[in-house]
Structure 1
Amino acid sequence: MATMPSIRRASSRTTRGSAVALALTATALSVTVFLGGRTRGPAVSLSIKSPATSTISNGARCQSRGFRARAPGVSVNLWSGFGPSLGRRGLSMTVAPKAQVVELVSRVVPAVVPEDDVAIKAFSSTPSEWKGDMIIIPVYATPKPEGAEEGPNAELTGPAKELDGVLGGIISEMIGDASFKGSKGEKVSTFVPGGSAKRVALVGAGEKDKENSDTVEALGASIAGVALDAKVASVLVVSTGSQPDSQALSSGVLGKLYADDRFRTGDNVSKPVKLKSMEIEGATSDALDAAVKHARGVTSGVRLAKDLVGAPPNYLTPSSMAGVAEKISKDLGLSLTILEQEECEKLGMGSYLGVAQGAIEPPKFIHLTYKPKGEVKSKIALIGKGLTFDSGGYNLKAGAGSMIELMKFDMGGSAAVLGAAQAIGKLKPDNVQVDFIVAACENMLSDRAMRPGDILTASNGKTIEVLNTDAEGRLTLADALIYAEKLNPDKIVDLATLTGACIISLGNEYAGMWSDNDDLAAELLESSKDGGEKLWRMPLVESYKEELKSKIADLKNVGGRAGGSITAALFLKEFVTKTPWAHIDMAGPVWDAKAGGSTGYGVRTLVEFVAKQQ
């Protein structure tokens, strides 16, 4: 394997009118060069040469940003800082080989995942005829009598009761010895001497009349947890006469197999999953196969979202996020457009680029499109906020509660959108076209970064006075919304970890949703319920728009302290003119430290939402 060149940074002192020469010795390079400053640079040109080619490109003077030279595989930007009024001069250079981006993507998105190796299939014979490692029986709880401190022991019915008879009452003994009630989370197991199955386990399913997709998915996770703890390879799930929803059960099983070992080594790495086969008694093959296919598609998207949100920001950069989109495009046949900085400049995306200008990492505007094979009856645009790291900029996140160490999750909206792209690419719904849009960048603090008081111009011509550089997500979304509406979709939904105010309002379990269209809002609420994610509609208070009025520009990027999540939504609404639109602020549920970090929130809601558009 060839040695991969690492990212290199070089700096030098320069003076007005001096010549700058750069020697690049690595091959297949993507290069960004910044020459600090914000004023017109000197009238010089740049040539780049590599060992494999002659002169690649000559850059000419750029009136506003310095110099630029581009060629296939090479991007060079010179940002000039000459001039005594700037108080700073110099050169910084970043060299990012294409091979390194590929390596980053491979670390962010594992090529092999455990759930792909676990077969879930129907079992049509009697449970006593099954041969394997473990039989798992979900047992429902008997409702607790009024006034009683606890409910009675669980009772066996249906195929489970028949199996108990064949095994000589061993399952009934387990229930009695453990005082097993069938409550959610309860579990007990035992070995079966001489049986065709080596072990039998009971898992509490809770009360049947309180069952829903959430409880069934949790039951599936409990079943998988028992199998993983027992380190068995084969499992048969035996019912008590009532079949839980196969899709939700399969989703729970597959989701439980997720473990984030990408950045662990040695003994810290999770043990390999031994489970290879799970058969479900009483299920019909065709119905179960369809349910499992859907569950695999959605679980794949949720896993991707978890991987993206959980990836550290030195691995998940705008470039590697674009690489993930390329992988989705290649694997699933979605069309892909990635706009580089120069192309975004031509489109006038000053709001988005204003956020990106402080970072060494170049911005990447990502646009994936899923098109069905047949007639397109509906077009949906899904937009995700893509801040791969948010320092806050000059309004630096500092002090207790700033959560700066967790700001890798500020791209949670884009993770949901790309996760949905992967799921939808696998499920291939009919009649609906979906555009997935991410304006990816970093919000960093540097001598090039936007400052409080700057005025940015969005691609629709609206001017924005930046009063707080830490209210950056809405600035990137503004240009993304304008871009999306030009695609003429029937509906637009954006998702973002936008405001801490939404966490204060709704806590960590619910996302807030704002919409100017009641039908769209109702669809999203129903979709979130079907997907098992919590969403609450919030008010778009038109009178609060006064908070966003600027004395010197069209808008301010923040309002007052009160109602901060509402004014953020109202700001976004300024960049959608006629299309039904909804905004989801998922700052709360994107992360759950107790449950291990990233949740994959948003993917399930979006997949259900798209399914309703067919």
Structure 2
Amino acid sequence: MHPKMASSIVASSSSFSSILTTQFLTPSSFSSLFLKTLTLRSSTPFQRLSFASQPLRRLMARATLGLTLPANTESLKVSFAAKELDVAEWKGDLLAVGVTEKDVARNVESRFENAILSALDSKLGGLLGQVSSEEDFSGKLGQSTVLRIASGLGFKRVALLGLGASASTTSAFKSLGEAVAAAAKSAQAGHVAVALASPDALSTESKPKTASAIASGTLLGTFEDNRYKSESKKSVLSSVDIIGLGTGPELEKKLKYAADISSGIILGRELVNSPANVLTPGVLAEEASKIASTYNDVFTAKILDAEQCKELKMGSYLGVAAASANPPHFIHLCYKPPTGPVNVKLALVGKGLTFDSGGYNIKTGPGCLIELMKFDMGGSAAVFGAAKALGQIKPLGVEVHFIVAACENMISGTGMRPGDIVTASNGKTIEVNNTDAEGRLTLADALVYACNQGAEKIVDLATLTGACIIGLGSSIAGVFTPSDDLAKEVFDASEASGEKLWRLPLEESYWESMKSGVADMVNTGGRPGSAITAALFLKQFVDEKVQWMHIDMAGPVWNEKQRCATGFGVATLVEWVLRNAS
């Protein structure tokens, strides 16, 4: 399900350019391996460091409903080179220029005032200015114009891509990368260059981050999940030159980081995209085990079955899993740094409902989204995507626990009924007044387990409530935490990653609606403030000494326009872990 992956870095000793080559081998099947090869080249003789996993023996039965397995897909190979040269002298298929509204300003002779656009326009005999005027290109965000160039020049096409009034954020430059990927796909361009019309508007310190964001956006924009299509077109994009943002070791490091993060996001997308008849709890556990197998210098894996969970008194989690023919798998990956001491212990807990029917409170009616409930494991996808990226980055000084209580919420004679009382592993009892509020029941035991691992800080991610979608829409995740310090850490990480979060209150007075007459609590309150009461429920299963945050990502997990997963959460989680590393 996840990509078979290879990446290499080639760093030239020349001050002219530095090259990062990232090879994405998109998934061949569930039996595919992670493969990572790292090659360093400088003025000294070759040094080669290779990491490769051995084939992982099938631990779980293959899903057979519908006879569907992901197809062998063609590999996606993209190399990146950072260069300093005259944009007008570049040679290749497509030259893409990021342009702000200010950049397209004209002088009294109706010529571009911007030096780069003016040079390009002169080389094209004024054609660039003419076409941009005819097409009313003003640099607004999302605008683009592509010009086919006559033979004899260094490049075949030039594209102006609008950045809006200004561009300085990670998300803005990721969007530019995605626009570059779209333009390259439309033009069937193999060799592409990206430049900014006003690179001097950026500080020297911000340029490597900008290049990284553009590279990440280009990779993610180029990727298409075609594993379940009978026919698919292979991307022809093979190389991208990033011009005018510098060269050298710091930039190379940032481009490698973009590749590592993108590989984790792609894994997250593929996990969520896979249908529930393929991605069962057992297969999700198997995919997690592959991460540990591939990066076994820093990862260990523990997979608990139902009997082992019963021994740990996880009645809340097992209650949800009871109706399904596919057994639950409680997944625990542990990252420890390859060298040095551990200064802080973190835990990432992801909701792992590989399908949610709603149980006896079955999802019915318009807007219930039952056909999309494969994405109810989006939290676990973010957690495992982050694990994959961190396995490549290998930060020091931090121990990270990745915890997912994977199961399905189905209907059968053995299933949990409305009105049942379940007992969580911390001894608290829960009256189940709605079987479709099952995610918090699985997270309850997962959070108790995380605390028992000695985690000092815990972030959980879940597609938990429709209320968060209503309140914040499809682009922003809701955040709940009693810790201002943890909020600052994670929001700083999200700003760097370009993912959008919004903090919501943990209003304690709302807990009144969660009280039961026969148990310690019910699992749902009324409709008002239901995202808040869901977070308050989770808080009951976290040790008071532990800093904890809940992220409700029900909105941004899915791109409705593209009808596929976003990989949301991976980048922020990795950034947060790295900021806690030494």
TM-score, length of structure 1 as denominator length: 0.78
Deviation at 1:292, TM superposition (A): 1.5
Q: What secondary structure, in the 3-state scheme, does the structure 1 residue paired with 2:159 have? A: strand
1:109/1:307 contact within 8 Å kept: no
Counterparts of 1:120-139 in structure 2, within 5 Å, are 120-139=80-99
**In 1, distance between residues paired with 2:110 and 2:281?**
55
Q: Which amino acid aligns with 2:243?
A: E
Q: What secondary structure, in the 3-state scheme, does the structure 2 residue paired with 1:567 have? A: helix
Counterparts of 1:514-533 in structure 2, within 5 Å, are 514-533=480-499
Q: What secondary structure, in the 3-state scheme, does the structure 2 residue paired with 1:612 have? A: helix
Q: Which amino acid aligns with 2:159?
A: A
CA, structure 1 residues 301+553, in 2 after alignment: closer, same or farther (shift >3 Å)?
same
Q: What secondary structure, in the 3-state scheme, does the structure 2 residue paired with 1:100 have? A: coil
Which residue pairs with 1:280 in the alignment?
242
2:316/2:423 contact within 8 Å kept: yes
Q: Which amino acid aligns with 1:302?
A: I
Which residue pairs with 1:199 in the alignment?
157
Q: What secondary structure, in the 3-state scheme, does the structure 2 residue paired with 1:203 have? A: strand
Which residue pairs with 2:474 in the alignment?
508
Which residue pairs with 2:518 in the alignment?
552
Q: Alignment partner for residue 377 of structure 1, among 343, 364, 369?
A: 343
**In 2, distance between residues paired with 1:191 and 1:144?**
20
Q: Which amino acid aligns with 1:545?
A: W
Deviation at 1:246, TM superposition (A): 0.6
Q: Alignment partner for residue 190 of structure 1, among 136, 148, 167?
A: 148
Which residue pairs with 1:181 in the alignment?
138
Deviation at 1:111, TM superposition (A): 7.6
Q: Alignment partner for residue 551 of structure 2, among 579, 584, 597?
A: 584
Which residue pairs with 1:403 in the alignment?
369
Q: What secondary structure, in the 3-state scheme, does the structure 1 residue paired with 2:546 have? A: coil
2:190/2:238 contact within 8 Å kept: yes
User: How many corresponding residue pairs?
Assistant: 509
Which residue pairs with 1:227 in the alignment?
184
Deviation at 1:561, TM superposition (A): 2.6
CA, structure 1 residues 503+173, in 2 after alignment: closer, same or farther (shift >3 Å)?
closer
**In 1, distance between residues paired with 2:110 and 2:65?**
54
Deviation at 1:350, TM superposition (A): 0.9
CA, structure 1 residues 178+541, in 2 after alignment: closer, same or farther (shift >3 Å)?
closer
Q: Which amino acid aligns with 2:140?
A: S
**In 2, distance between residues paired with 1:499 and 1:242?**
42
Residues 97-130 of structure 1 deviation map (CA, whole Å, 9 limit, x = unaligned): 84626999x956978652xx10011223434543
Which residue pairs with 2:46 in the alignment?
none
Deviation at 1:198, TM superposition (A): 2.7
Matched, 1:346 2:311: yes
Q: What secondary structure, in the 3-state scheme, does the structure 2 residue paired with 1:118 have? A: strand
Which residue pairs with 1:250 in the alignment?
215
**In 2, distance between residues paired with 1:512 and 1:459?**
27
Which residue pairs with 2:280 in the alignment?
317
**In 1, distance between residues paired with 2:75 and 2:512?**
50
Which residue pairs with 2:261 in the alignment?
298
**In 1, distance between residues paired with 2:74 and 2:393?**
20
CA, structure 1 residues 102+492, in 2 after alignment: closer, same or farther (shift >3 Å)?
farther
Deviation at 1:592, TM superposition (A): 2.4
Q: Which amino acid aligns with 2:168?
A: E
1:154/1:182 contact within 8 Å kept: no
Deviation at 1:492, TM superposition (A): 0.7
Matched, 1:462 2:417: no
CA, structure 1 residues 111+226, in 2 after alignment: closer, same or farther (shift >3 Å)?
closer
Q: Which amino acid aligns with 2:154?
A: S
CA, structure 1 residues 158+101, in 2 after alignment: closer, same or farther (shift >3 Å)?
farther
CA, structure 1 residues 356+154, in 2 after alignment: closer, same or farther (shift >3 Å)?
farther
**In 2, distance between residues paired with 1:324 and 1:97?**
10
1:108/1:316 contact within 8 Å kept: no
Which residue pairs with 1:368 in the alignment?
333
CA, structure 1 residues 572+231, in 2 after alignment: closer, same or farther (shift >3 Å)?
same
Q: Alignment partner for residue 171 of structure 2, among 188, 197, 214?
A: 214
Alpha-carbon RMSD across the aligned residues, in angstroms, is 2.8
Counterparts of 1:27-176 in structure 2, within 5 Å, are 98=60, 100=62, 107=69, 113-114=75-76, 117-142=77-102, 155=112, 157-176=114-133
Deviation at 1:332, TM superposition (A): 2.5
1:308/1:415 contact within 8 Å kept: yes
Matched, 1:597 2:557: no
Deviation at 1:298, TM superposition (A): 1.3
Matched, 1:434 2:400: yes
2:306/2:328 contact within 8 Å kept: yes
Q: Which amino acid aligns with 2:279?
A: L
Q: What secondary structure, in the 3-state scheme, does the structure 1 residue paired with 2:413 have? A: coil
Q: What secondary structure, in the 3-state scheme, does the structure 1 residue paired with 2:568 have? A: coil
CA, structure 1 residues 585+179, in 2 after alignment: closer, same or farther (shift >3 Å)?
closer
**In 2, distance between residues paired with 1:272 and 1:288?**
29
**In 1, distance between residues paired with 2:199 and 2:578?**
28
Q: Which amino acid aligns with 1:212?
A: T
Q: What secondary structure, in the 3-state scheme, does the structure 1 residue paired with 2:62 have? A: helix
Q: Which amino acid aligns with 2:241?
A: E
- Percentage of matched positions with identical amino acids: 48
Q: Which amino acid aligns with 2:155?
A: A
Q: What secondary structure, in the 3-state scheme, does the structure 1 residue paired with 2:411 have? A: coil
**In 1, distance between residues paired with 2:579 and 2:225?**
32
Pair member with larger Rg: 1
2:177/2:213 contact within 8 Å kept: yes
**In 2, distance between residues paired with 1:563 and 1:372?**
41
Unaligned runs of 5+ in 1: 1-72, 75-95, 146-151
Unaligned runs of 5+ in 2: 1-55, 201-206
Q: Which amino acid aligns with 1:483?
A: Y
